[in-house]
Amino acid sequence: MARDLQRTYRGRAWREDDPDDRRGLHEVGRAERAVLIASLSCRPVEEADRLSEMTDLLSTAGAEVVHRVVQHRDRPDPRLYLGKGRLDELAEWVKENTPDLVASEGDLTAGQQRHLEDRLKIRVVDRTGVILDIFALHARSAEGKLQVELAQMEYSYSRQEGLWQHLERLGGGVGTRGPGESQLESDRRMIRARMGVLRERIAEVGKSRETMREERMASAVTRVALAGYTNAGKSSLMNALTGAQVDVNDALFETLDPTTRAFSQDGMKVLVSDTVGFIRHLPHQLVESFRSTLDEVRDAHLIVYVADATEDDDGRAARAAAVEEVLDGIGADDVPRLLVLNKVDLLDTEDRDALVRRHPQAVMTSAVTGEGLDDVRERLMTAARARWERVEFEVPYSRGEVISAVYAHGRDVVQDAGPEGTTIRALMPPTDAARVRSLLSRPRGQPPR
C-alpha cells in the first residue's frame, strides 16, 4: 500500500499490513505476553480443548499466555464480547500487569474489537487474526505469500473504520462531512485496489500450477493427498514415505505450500501431496485464498486422513469433524479416505490396543520409528492397482510394436503364443490400455490421427 496504517499502544507502533513488523518479536526471540479471553457456552471438555488450541495458536504466533479470562454465557456480548463486570476486572488487571496484547478465543466483529481496544488501551486480536498471523510467518513461496496477503486484506477491510476514530466527528452525515470520511474511503479504495492486484497475481501464479495439475490428472499415476488437523504429523509421514525434505516442527500450520513427491513400488508410481493443515472453523478468507492449493486434495484419487493417535476420543472426533467440514467445503467429500493414526510410538500397550479395537480399518503408524509405513505403502499400492484395468489382446506376430507398448506400460504381463499371433494379458492404466487398443486397430505403419 502507498502508506502504512499504524496504531500505537504503550509506545509501540504496529502495522497491520507489514509482515516484517509482525515478525519483529520473533526475530529478537522474545515472546509477547498475551491475555486470553473467551466467552463460551459449551461442555467443560470442549472448553478445555478450545482454550488449549488457542494457547497453541498463540504460542506458534510467538506469544505466551500469562492470564486467562473465561466467561460462561449463552452468547458473547454484542458490543463488548465480555460482560461489563468481567471487562472492568480485566481492565484493572491489564493496567497493573501491562501485557502486550489481548487475544480472543472467538472471532470478534470490528465493533467489538474497537470497543475492547478503547476500554483496555491495548492491542486486541481475535482467533482469525492470530491464524492469519501464523500463515504470514510460515508462507515461503510467492504464491503462499500472495494468498496470505489477500486473506489479510479481506479480513482487515471491514476493520479500517476504527483507524480513524480521532476524526469521527467529521465522519459523515449532515453537518459532519469532512476529512474523516475522505480518509476512510481513501484507505478502503487502496485496499480494494490492492486486493484486485493480488487476485490477478494469484491467478497468474496459479496458471503454472494448473498446468502441472492437468498433466498429472491426464497421466495414469495415482494421486494421494495427505490431509488432517494441523500438527497431526502429515509432514513427518510425507518425509518417511517419500524421502521428501518437508520442514517438520512442533508448531501449528508449519506447512502451507503444498509439496508433491513420488514413490514407486513394484513398478507402480504414486504421487503424494502434503497440504496445509486444517483447524476448527478455518477462517473462510483462508479457505478461499488457498483454494488452488486445496484443489490438490479435491483432485486426489485417495485422501490419507492423518490423525494424532495420542488425542482422546472427544478431541479426535472434534478434529475429524473440522477436517470433514473443510473437505466438504472444497468439494472433496466423495474422495475415498484412508485413516492413518500417527504417533502410536507415544502410546502404551493398553491405549494402543483400545485404539485398534475402536478403529479396526485404520493403519497405526509412527513416522519416527517407521512402524506401519510398509502397511501404508501397501494400501496406497492397492488403491493404485484398483484404478488399473485387466486387459487381454490378440496380437498378430507382425505387430511387435503393440507387444512392446504393453510391456512398456503394463504390469503382470503374461504372453501365450498361438498359431496366428500372441494372446497377451496385463494390468494397465485405463489411458494406456486405450492407446494400445487404438494402436492395434490401425494398420501397421499407419500414424495416429
Q: Kindly state whether residues 261 and 126 are assigned to the same domain.
A: no
CATH code for the domain in which residue 86 is found: 3.40.50.11060
At 25 the pLDDT is 42
Q: Kindly state whether residues 393 and 373 are assigned to the same domain.
A: no
Q: Does residue 193 form part of some domain?
A: no
250 pLDDT higher than 90: no
Per the structure, the complete domain to which residue 130 belongs is given by 6-142+160-167
Rounded CA-CA distance 235/247 in Å is 7
Confidence label for 190 from pLDDT (cuts 50, 70 and 90): confident
- Residues contacting residue 77 through CB under 8 Å, at least 6 positions apart: 39, 83, 84, 112
Q: Does residue 185 form part of some domain?
A: no
Give the residue, 29 or 373, on which the prediction is more confident: 373
Rounded CA-CA distance 179/170 in Å is 7
316 pLDDT higher than 90: no
Give the residue, 72 or 430, on which the prediction is more confident: 72
Q: Kindly state whether residues 378 and 412 are assigned to the same domain.
A: no
Give the residue, 92 or 188, on which the prediction is more confident: 92
Query: pTM of the entire structure?
Result: 0.72
Which tens digit of pLDDT belongs to each residue from 336-377?
A: 999 999 999 999 999 999 999 999 999 999 988 999 999 999
CB burial class (10 A; 0-12, 13-18, 19+) of residue 197? middle
The three three-digit cell numbers of residue 212, written as one number: 502441472
Q: Kindly state whether residues 230 and 130 are assigned to the same domain.
A: no
Q: Kindly state whether residues 352 and 236 are assigned to the same domain.
A: yes
Beta-bridge mates of residue 32: 63
For residue 78, the surrounding DSSP H or E stretch is none
Which of 350, 367, 385 is the last residue in one of the domains? 385
Q: Does residue 179 form part of some domain?
A: no
145 pLDDT higher than 70: yes
Average confidence score pLDDT of the chain: 80
Q: Kindly state whether residues 22 and 75 are assigned to the same domain.
A: yes
Would you put residue 296 in left (φ > 0), alpha (ψ -120 to 50) or beta? Answer: alpha
How many Cα neighbours within 13 Å face the side chain of 346? 11
Confidence label for 144 from pLDDT (cuts 50, 70 and 90): confident
Beta-bridge mates of residue 278: 229
**Over residues 205-214, mean pLDDT:** 72
At 252 the pLDDT is 60
Q: Does residue 132 form part of some domain?
A: yes
Rounded CA-CA distance 268/435 in Å is 18
Which of 385, 408, 426 is the last residue in one of the domains? 385
**Over residues 246-271, mean pLDDT:** 70
At 108 the pLDDT is 93
At 255 the pLDDT is 58
Task: Count the residues in the chain.
Answer: 449
Q: What domain count does the chain have?
A: 3
Backbone φ, ψ for residue 61 (5° rounding): -80, -10
Residue 229 near residue 322, CB atoms below 8 Å? yes
Q: Kindly state whether residues 11 and 111 are assigned to the same domain.
A: yes
**Over residues 200-223, mean pLDDT:** 75
Rounded CA-CA distance 183/186 in Å is 5
183 pLDDT higher than 80: no
At 5 the pLDDT is 33
CATH code for the domain in which residue 402 is found: 3.30.70
Give the residue, 206 or 387, on which the prediction is more confident: 387
**Over residues 248-276, mean pLDDT:** 73
At 385 the pLDDT is 85
At 297 the pLDDT is 84
Q: Kindly state whether residues 52 and 138 are assigned to the same domain.
A: yes
At 274 the pLDDT is 83
Q: Kindly state whether residues 13 and 60 are assigned to the same domain.
A: yes
At 92 the pLDDT is 96
At 444 the pLDDT is 65
Rounded CA-CA distance 294/287 in Å is 8
Rounded CA-CA distance 47/68 in Å is 13
Q: What is the DSSP string of 280-327?
A: TT--HHHHHHTHHHHHHHHT-SEEEEEEETTS-HHHHHHHHHHHHHHH
Backbone φ, ψ for residue 289 (5° rounding): -65, -35
Confidence label for 236 from pLDDT (cuts 50, 70 and 90): confident
- Residues contacting residue 273 through CB under 8 Å, at least 6 positions apart: 223, 224, 225, 226, 258, 259, 260, 296, 297, 300
At 160 the pLDDT is 66
Q: Does residue 195 form part of some domain?
A: no
172 pLDDT higher than 80: no
Highest mean pLDDT among 145-159, 200-214, 424-438: 424-438
Q: How far is CA 360 from CA 339, 340, 350, 354, 363, in A?
A: 10, 11, 15, 10, 8
The three three-digit cell numbers of residue 24, written as one number: 519483529
Which tens digit of pLDDT belongs to each residue from 79-131?
A: 999 999 999 999 999 999 999 999 999 999 989 999 999 999 999 999 999 98
- End-to-end Cα spacing for the chain: 54
Rounded CA-CA distance 2/187 in Å is 10
The three three-digit cell numbers of residue 274, written as one number: 502434503
Which of 103, 134, 167 is the last residue in one of the domains? 167
CB burial class (10 A; 0-12, 13-18, 19+) of residue 84? exposed
443 pLDDT higher than 50: yes
At 23 the pLDDT is 42
Q: Does residue 251 form part of some domain?
A: yes
**Over residues 210-221, mean pLDDT:** 69
Q: Kindly state whether residues 231 and 361 are assigned to the same domain.
A: yes
Cα–Cα–Cα angle for 420, 422, 428, rounded to 5 degrees: 150
The three three-digit cell numbers of residue 100, written as one number: 502486550
Alpha helices in 139-278 (DSSP H): 142-157, 179-218, 234-242
**Over residues 209-229, mean pLDDT:** 77
Q: Does residue 180 form part of some domain?
A: no
171 pLDDT higher than 50: no
At 216 the pLDDT is 64
Computed on alpha carbons and rounded to an integer, the radius of gyration of the chain in Å comes to 28
Q: Kindly state whether residues 283 and 328 are assigned to the same domain.
A: yes
What is residue 223's three-state secondary structure?
strand
Would you put residue 419 in left (φ > 0), alpha (ψ -120 to 50) or beta? Answer: alpha
Q: Kindly state whether residues 356 and 335 are assigned to the same domain.
A: yes
Lowest mean pLDDT among 104-108, 143-147, 218-222, 244-248: 244-248
Confidence label for 45 from pLDDT (cuts 50, 70 and 90): confident
**Over residues 296-310, mean pLDDT:** 89
Lowest mean pLDDT among 15-19, 193-197, 222-226, 399-403: 15-19
Confidence label for 22 from pLDDT (cuts 50, 70 and 90): very low
In the chain, the percentage of residues whose pLDDT exceeds 70 is 80
**Over residues 143-167, mean pLDDT:** 72
Give the residue, 26 or 369, on which the prediction is more confident: 369
Q: Does residue 411 form part of some domain?
A: yes
The three three-digit cell numbers of residue 163, written as one number: 483507524
